[in-house]
């Protein structure tokens, strides 16, 4: 969630960041409007509470009653505005870094690096679903009858390949010598501390999900009312809060985790359209998460090890 002070100080920059991510920039104006109302009401409520405490100390019963009535009128209004304020604030995305290319969709993505050249066929090749169905490795038709649309069975050698890739990822990211090789490509002497493998819970409490900053957009989440829990949309959702309400010592950083879990999400709208009928409601994710010291230098490098790790893994797989 964005710091409200940053929004107050840089409304135009935040509006641009929101627009670049295809959100409505009017949300920024609404947040600032509610922020103003909230601060004004809060000031009034705090003054009334202070006056009421003074009246109680002075045993001024009449003033105490009057102030109580005024508070009973203002406090619900403050609570309502506060709730609406946070609801909108949580919807605002973080602006992209200045060097991130802005595009209308994935057709405007910039290619950073290539390895080799794509194979050219003199016939129209099958996609992964077509190949999987022909080889009996994917069965979407049966899944549609049993579970519903956007699901599929992964079978036979495809399952073995999936778990072999997971094992490769875990072996790579928990091996200090391999990580040192990767880390030195980021910077000579960059910390090669291995990741700790974790199989995290796939359910999360609403308040923890919210604090993690991943509860929204709610329409993509699966909620179980009888237990008041959500199904996670990625292993990072329950990996992130692993040190919730703890104070970490700098000497122990970085702390790195690599998780593996089933992940549940609706992928509302056109997101996931390229799956062409293969499951987009249930995934198995292997996300990495690490906690480090927040400095400008660290922030600039934060994504680099992850990107280099991914490049290494893709080359190993291919």
Question: Has residue 142 been placed in a domain?
Answer: yes
pLDDT band at 29 (very low <50, low <70, confident <90, very high): very high
Same domain, 73 and 176: no
Q: Quick one: pLDDT at residue 118?
A: 86
State the CB neighbour count (10 A cutoff) for residue 252: 8
Does pLDDT of 224 surpass 60? yes
84 and 132 share one domain: no
Same domain, 139 and 199: yes
Q: 257 φ, ψ to 5°?
A: -125, 145
CA angle at residue 210 from 205 to 216, to 5 degrees? 115
What three-state secondary structure class fits 239?
A: helix
The CATH number assigned to the domain holding 307 equals 3.30.930.10
Give me the percent of the chain exceeding a pLDDT of 90: 51
Handedness of CA 38, 41, 44, 48 (dihedral sign): negative
Residue 289 has pLDDT above 80, yes or no: no
Statement to judge: residues 55 and 158 lie in one domain: no
Say if 195 falls within a structural domain: yes
Residues 157 and 255 in one domain: yes
Burial category of 28 from C-beta neighbours within 10 Å (exposed 0-12, middle 13-18, buried 19 and up): buried
Rounded to an integer, the average pLDDT of 196-202 is: 93
Its domain, for residue 199, covers 127-317
Q: Are strands 282-285 and 229-231 parallel, antiparallel or unpaired?
A: unpaired
Q: Domain for residue 276, yes or no?
A: yes
Indicate whether 70 pLDDT > 90. yes
- Per DSSP, the chain holds a count of helices (H) and strands (E) of 11, 10
pTM: 0.74
pLDDT greater than 50 at residue 5:
yes
Q: In angstroms, rounded to a whole number, what is the distance separating the alpha carbons of residues 261 and 292? A: 23
Q: Do 303 and 191 lie in a common domain?
A: yes
Residue where a domain terminates, one of 89, 115, 143: 89
- Residue 75 forms part of a structural domain: yes
Check whether residue 187 and residue 275 sit in a common domain: yes
**Do residue 278 and residue 224 come from a single domain?**
yes
What pLDDT is attached to residue 296? 38
200 falls in which pLDDT band (50, 70, 90)?
Answer: very high
Q: Per the structure block, which two tokens stand in for 253?
A: 């950083």
Is pLDDT above 50 for 16?
yes
Residue 78 sits in a domain whose CATH number is 1.10.287
Last residue of a domain, one of 89, 113, 140: 89
18 and 164 share one domain? no
Query: What's the pLDDT band for 279 if we cut at 50, 70, 90?
Result: very low
- Give the residue from 41, 74, 89 where a domain finishes: 89
Number of domains making up the chain: 2
Q: Is 118 part of any domain?
A: no
């Amino acid at each position: 969630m964005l710091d409200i002070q940053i929004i107050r100080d840089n409304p135009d920059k935040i509006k641009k960041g929101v627009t670049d991510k295809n959100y409505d920039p009017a949300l920024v104006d609404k947040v600032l409007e509610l922020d103003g109302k909230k601060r004004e009401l809060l000031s009034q409520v705090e003054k009334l509470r202070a006056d009421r405490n003074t009246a109680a100390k002075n045993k001024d019963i009449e003033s105490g009653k009057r102030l109580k009535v005024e508070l009973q009128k203002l406090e619900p209004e403050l609570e309502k505005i506060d709730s609406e304020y946070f609801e909108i604030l949580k919807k605002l995305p973080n602006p992209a870094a200045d060097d991130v290319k802005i595009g209308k969709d994935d057709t405007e993505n910039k290619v950073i690096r290539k390895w080799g050249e794509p194979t050219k066929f003199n016939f129209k090749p099958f996609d992964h679903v077509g190949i999987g169905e022909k080889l009996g490795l994917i069965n979407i038709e049966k899944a549609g009858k049993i579970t519903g649309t956007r699901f599929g069975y992964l079978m036979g050698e495809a399952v073995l390949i999936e778990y072999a890739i997971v094992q490769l990822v875990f072996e790579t990211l928990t091996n200090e010598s391999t990580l040192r090789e990767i880390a030195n490509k980021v910077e000579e002497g960059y910390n090669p501390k291995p990741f700790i493998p974790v199989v995290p819970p796939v359910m999360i409490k609403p308040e923890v999900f919210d604090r993690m900053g991943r509860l929204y957009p709610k329409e993509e989440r699966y909620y179980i009312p009888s237990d008041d829990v959500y199904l996670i949309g990625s292993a990072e959702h329950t990996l992130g809060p692993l040190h919730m309400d703890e104070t970490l010592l700098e000497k122990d950083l970085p702390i790195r985790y690599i998780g593996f879990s089933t992940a549940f999400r609706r992928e509302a709208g056109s997101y996931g359209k390229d799956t062409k009928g293969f499951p987009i409601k249930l995934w198995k994710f292997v996300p990495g998460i690490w906690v480090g010291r927040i400095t400008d230098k660290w922030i600039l490098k934060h994504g680099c090890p992850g990107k280099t790790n991914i490049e290494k893994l893709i080359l190993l797989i291919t």
